[in-house]
Amino acid sequence: MAAKKKDRKSDKRERILAAAITVFAKNGFYDTRVSEIAKAAGVADGTIYLYFKNKDDVLVSIFSERIEQLIDVLTRIADREDKTPEQKIRKVIELQLGVLEGQRDLAEVITVNLRQSSRLLKQYAAPLFTRYLEVMARIVADGQEQGAFRRDISPVFAARSLWGGLDGIALTWAIADPEPTQLRKAAQQYERLFLDGLTHGCTS
Amino acid sequence: MAAKKKDRKSDKRERILAAAITVFAKNGFYDTRVSEIAKAAGVADGTIYLYFKNKDDVLVSIFSERIEQLIDVLTRIADREDKTPEQKIRKVIELQLGVLEGQRDLAEVITVNLRQSSRLLKQYAAPLFTRYLEVMARIVADGQEQGAFRRDISPVFAARSLWGGLDGIALTWAIADPEPTQLRKAAQQYERLFLDGLTHGCTS
DNA sequence: GGATTCTGAATGACGATTCAGTTTGCTGCA
DNA sequence: TGCAGCAAACTGAATCGTCATTCAGAATCC
């Protein structure tokens, strides 16, 4: 039946993406041969071109599918009425680091490989990235209006440093520190550090 | 005389490096042709190979010369007896962002291009980067011993998030926000945010 | 006039992409 | 149930363009 055919198809696509994440993480986008991805996925070189326009498209697909998903979840967090701004920030931190825990390869692809092509970064990733930061900034701005966060910090800068801190933790974790538990520990510490800075002088 | 000869030589080397920073920033390492660097520097393609082993070596030289320099300055800051830990952290922030101010291209090369090759990042940059973070962590640890900083945050994590936040600010500035004054403003805000988080519960 | 520096066209390797051919799966028909 | 025939999915060796790098010769310096 039609469904079965489609199933096989998406299964193969998924295998290619999973293989690509592994080899991109190990060797980086530019040092990865298409034939290596094919070999890791157990398909022929040409098969990749049945599912993706070209090599760029493989990287873009990995990135876009994961980040879009992350933005959706983030937006839903920001919109919740029943959470305080602090709780929302905590959720954001746990989400971003938690999503990656146990997925070292994906973390590495997102933090490192994303920047591998300025072309891709500027043309494709920058708008997504901006949307991501905007949601974070909105949470901070809401918190300021409600009096939970200090007002002498621009929400935009707060969002940028929040993201940067998380990215830095993920990067150093990916290149240096294979302990998976470290990441959760890092999340907890970062929560304290960042939130205490942001609520400074406000009664929480 | 010998000095003059050497002068011309290093002048040409410097021109190549400066040209490389410009084109790497615009197009990224892998999307840059050696011939483009040569053209921008006003030399022949072959000349580049008189001063650098290969294309990788050009990128590595840019990175290493700047970061090594940064580590030296940082170490000197950390070792000063006449400064409080807070003052040292402030200096670090201003140094790292201040160094880049007015040098948008260099900022972009360091934050974006550095990550373009996992090979280069892991083999070459990781050790330098670790040294850099160690100096930062030492400042935090000293501050904790002196009672200036809270002790429930690991110096290593603090250093990672400090670096990450700065990197995030530099990255977003490089790809999004051409205002040079914004970077200094960002430095000030980040100082407040990070230091207030770090001194939380300590009398400063 | 010998050494040093520079030049840029020629070389050669590499690897993304293609496509002619093969395999697989499905359909309806006997 | 078996089978011819068609379509869709897959294969991987051959193609082809793209550069990084080289090097024979030119230019410059002392």
- Render pLDDT for B39-94 as a digit per residue (tens, 0 to 9): 999 999 999 999 999 999 999 999 888 888 888 999 999 999 999 999 999 999 98
Give the position of tokens 């406000």: A202
Give chain A's residues under pLDDT 50. 1-9, 204
Contact A110, A63 (CB under 8 A): yes
> Do A158 and B193 make contact, defined as CB atoms within 8 angstroms?
yes
Predicted pLDDT at A117: 63
From chain A, the residues in CB contact with B118 under 8 A are: 25-28, 31, 108, 112-113
Instruction: Using pLDDT thresholds of 50, 70 and 90, give the confidence band for residue B203.
Output: low
Predicted pLDDT at A88: 95
Classify burial at A158, counting beta carbons within 10 Å of its beta carbon; exposed 0-12, middle 13-18, buried 19 or more: buried
Predicted pLDDT at A175: 74
Predicted pLDDT at A7: 43
Predicted pLDDT at A1: 34
From chain A, the residues in CB contact with B89 under 8 A are: none
From chain A, the residues in CB contact with B162 under 8 A are: 165
Nucleotides of C under 7 A from a protein CB: 4-10, 15-20, 25-27
State whether the Cα torsion B47-B49-B52-B54 is positive or negative: positive
Predicted pLDDT at A3: 33
Contact B11, B38 (CB under 8 A): no
> Is A33 part of the contact surface with chain B (CB cutoff 8 Å)?
no
Q: Report CA(A108)–C1'(C29) in Å, whole number.
A: 56
Q: N- to C-terminal Cα distance for chain B? A: 58
DSSP-derived 3-state class of residue B43: coil
Whether the model pTM is above 0.90:
no
ipTM, interface predicted TM-score of the complex: 0.82
Stretch 105-144 of chain B: residues touching chain A, C-beta under 8 Å:
108, 111-113, 115-119, 121-122, 126, 130, 133
- Tokens for B22? 């410009």
Query: Cα separation of A29 and A25, whole Å?
Result: 8
Interface-testing mutation among A121, A149, A172, A194, with chain B (most B C-beta atoms within 10 A)? A172
From chain A, the residues in CB contact with B168 under 8 A are: 160-161, 163-165, 167-168
Q: Report CA(B43)–C1'(D26) in Å, whole number.
A: 15
Which residues have C-beta within 8 Å of that of residue A38, sequence separation ≥ 6? A16, A19, A44, A45, A47, A48
Classify burial at B95, counting beta carbons within 10 Å of its beta carbon; exposed 0-12, middle 13-18, buried 19 or more: middle
Contact A155, A137 (CB under 8 A): yes
Query: What are the pLDDT digits (tens) for A35-59?
Result: 999 999 999 999 999 999 999 999 9
Q: How big is the CA angle at B110 (ends A163 and A63), to the nearest 5 degrees?
A: 45
Predicted pLDDT at B43: 96
**Least CA distance to B31: which residue of chain A?**
A117
Give the position of tokens 């304290």: A192
Instruction: With CA atoms as reference, report the closest residue to B49 among B33, B34, B64, B29.
Output: B34
Nucleotide nearest to B52 (CA to C1'): D21
> Is A169 part of the contact surface with chain B (CB cutoff 8 Å)?
yes
